[in-house]
Structure 1
Amino acid sequence: MTRVVLVHGIGKQYLGAETLLADWRPALSDGIARAGGLQIPGEEVSMAFYGDLFRPAGHRGLGIPELDASDVHDDLERELLIEWWRAAAEIEARVPGPDAPARLRTPHLVQRALDALSHSTFFAGLSERLLIWSARQVRLYFTEPDVRALVRERVERGITPQTEVIVAHSLGTVAAYEALCAHPEWQDLTFVSLGSPLGVRNLVFDRLVPAPAGGRGRWPASVKRWVNVADKGDVVPLVKELGSRFGDRVKDVRIHNGAKAHDVRPYLTARETGRAIAQGLGSL
């Protein structure tokens, strides 16, 4: 019996459902405990895993393909990298933004973005190819209908008649939102979005299915309560509050995750997240 369905974000192509659950379940339990809620048995929590759909195949070598700035041809990938760069520069004074004078040796805008991001605290430790591959996964979701359908199918497959709460992170919030909108027959679900890019105009929001109308995204008919949790220092949710995009029924909550602002674990261990989950389960 699955009462809580978890949906992960990008960069999990070499992991699996059980591998992720080993991290997510304890963090989720800690958040619920901090909120004073009753614990949920581990077997009632499942992971809607889709990372393998982005696992590279057919190239020489192991792991992620060797990518550099010259491989960024798609407008969505380029704009996403630039927006991450702009957001990182706003948070960190030492990161020069897109409007800063370019050094002659790096005139290419994408290369400048990659250089700046690789030196930011938020993206510390990520190579250029990992940054590009992260942006590419977002692009593949929105531009490859087969990929999008398969990701959403994985989410839909995880929902059972006993499901009460959907907890999604990063790109997973997009897949979860679209699945929830597609199934109005699901009833009384609580949607908890963590570090969500759903509100980012042009790159994400305006590409959603169903399409927004009049600048407003559709409220999923299957959802009775939506809590959106974001860290001020999280670069991925460029728009931290979703109420302006999806209506004032969204409860926007701001938290502080420390140095790893986009990491799902501090999101899950936060009292605010635990409270939202516990309330959705009726255990608080």
Structure 2
Amino acid sequence: MTRVLGIHGVRNYKAADTTPHLGSARLRSDWLTALGPTASGLDLETAYYADLLRSEKQGEDPADEELALVEQWARAWGVDPSGAQGRATGWLRWVCGQVAARAGERPAVVEKSVKLFFPEVTRYFATGRSAVLERVKASIVQHQPDVVVAHSLGSVVAYEALHELADEVEVELLLTLGSPLALPNAIFHRLAPGPLDGRGVRPHGVRRWVNIADVGDFVAIPKGALARLFTGVEERPEITIAPVWPHSVLDYLKHPSVSGAIVERSR
């Protein structure tokens, strides 16, 4: 039985998650369903931290720090965000429209990606990092996984947590899905440990690191940069997980490339 620990990405808090245990149980059920027949050979648990990054405020314009991260994301797409005046909802919509035009995607899909992702990234680096890492590290130590599957912002959490636990755990496979780890300035240059000579490194306790990203995933950028900026990363060929929303963890988990990577973890 392969021990697997899932580390979720953004927007995973639900009102019914009155305790971390309940949140983890809900996610575990969703992940097992998405994995389908592959799940029969897995001892799967999920590390839940969504409650630590949720916001009580709804419907407000993005904060300055959040907009600064969006600006760096736009530049990674080759868009000059100074082309529109102001720095609030209208500016954000214009930036998303420019990225959508470059990517051949609907602006609404791009805007949804940005609105889901950057608020929690901002909170993680500003105030939530310590609490999130402590909870996730506790889950890793308790479960002692053979495989860590980390999606979206969860790949950032996994990277930092596994570095901190390098002398305590050994993981056969780190599988990152839709990862933004290579996003310059907004994430890459804020990692701990930080890049050395312009490169990150696979955590010492991790035997293999495989990265998978949908061709249209607006979070997993710059495209193909993970293997260039981090030592010891195997990039799988670009895949398509869903035509409408190319960042869902459940769609990633349903894809054969993900189940295949887990099954062949110690190749």
Give TM-score, length-normalised by structure 1.
Answer: 0.77
1:155 aligns with 2:136: yes
In 1, Cα distance between equivalents of 2:93 and 2:234? 34
How big is the shift at 1:135?
A: 1.6
Distance 1:108 1:6, change over 3 A: same
Taking a change above 3 Å as real, the CA distance of residues 109 and 7 of structure 1, as seen in their structure-2 partners, is same
RMSD over aligned Cα, in angstroms? 2.9
CA contact (8 A) 2:153 2:180 kept: yes
**TM-superposition CA deviations, 1:147-201 (whole Å, max 9, x none):** 1111112211212364100000000000001111111221243100000000111
Would the alpha carbon gap of residues 49 and 234 (structure 1) be closer, same or farther in structure 2, given more than 3 Å must change? Answer: same
Q: In the alignment, which residue of structure 1 is the partner of 2:59?
A: 66
- Structure 1 unaligned regions, length at least 5: 33-37, 58-63, 91-96
Percentage of identical aligned residues: 33
- Asked which structure has the greater CA Rg, the reply is 1
Aligned letter for 2:152?
Answer: S
Is residue 51 of structure 1 aligned with residue 50 of structure 2? yes
Runs of 4 or more, structure 1, over 4 Å off, are: 83-88, 97-102, 130-133
8 Å CA contact 1:195, 1:236 repeated in 2: yes
Tell me how far apart the structure 2 counterparts of residues 108 and 18 of structure 1 sit (CA, whole Å).
Answer: 43
- TM-score of the aligned structures, taking structure 2 as reference length: 0.81
Give distance in 1, aligned partners of 2:250 and 2:51: 21
Asked if 1:39 corresponds to 2:40, the answer is yes
Is the contact made by 2:241 and 2:252 (CA closer than 8 Å) also made in structure 1? yes
Which amino acid counterpart does residue 138 of structure 2 have in structure 1? Answer: R
Summarize the Cα distance change of 1:125–1:98 in structure 2 as closer, same or farther, 3 Å threshold: closer
Q: How does 1:104-123 map to 2 (within 5 A)?
A: 107-110=85-88, 111-115=90-94, 117=96, 121=106, 123=108
| Farther off after superposition, 155-164 or 229-238 | 155-164
- Equivalent residue of 1:138, what SS? helix
Aligned counterpart for 2:150 among listed residues 168, 172, 177: 168
Whether the 8 Å CA contact 1:67–1:132 is kept in 2: the answer is: no
Identify the structure with the greater helix proportion. Answer: 2
Specify which structure has the bigger relative contact order, considering alpha-carbon pairs within 8 angstroms and separated by 6 or more residues: 1
CA distance in 1, matches of 2:125, 2:250: 26
- Distance in 2 (alpha carbons) for counterparts of 1:131 and 1:239: 15
CA deviation digits over 1:97-150, x for unaligned, max 9?
546965xxxx324422235538863743967xx955742210121122xx1111
Per-residue Cα deviation, 1:34-72 (whole angstroms, up to 9, x for no partner): xxxx8324xx21110000112334xxxxxx42212xx42
Report how many residues are paired.
248
1:238 partner SS: coil
1:94 alignment counterpart: none
Aligned partner of 1:60 in structure 2 is: none
Do the aligned partners of 2:200 and 2:230 also contact (CA within 8 Å) in 1? yes
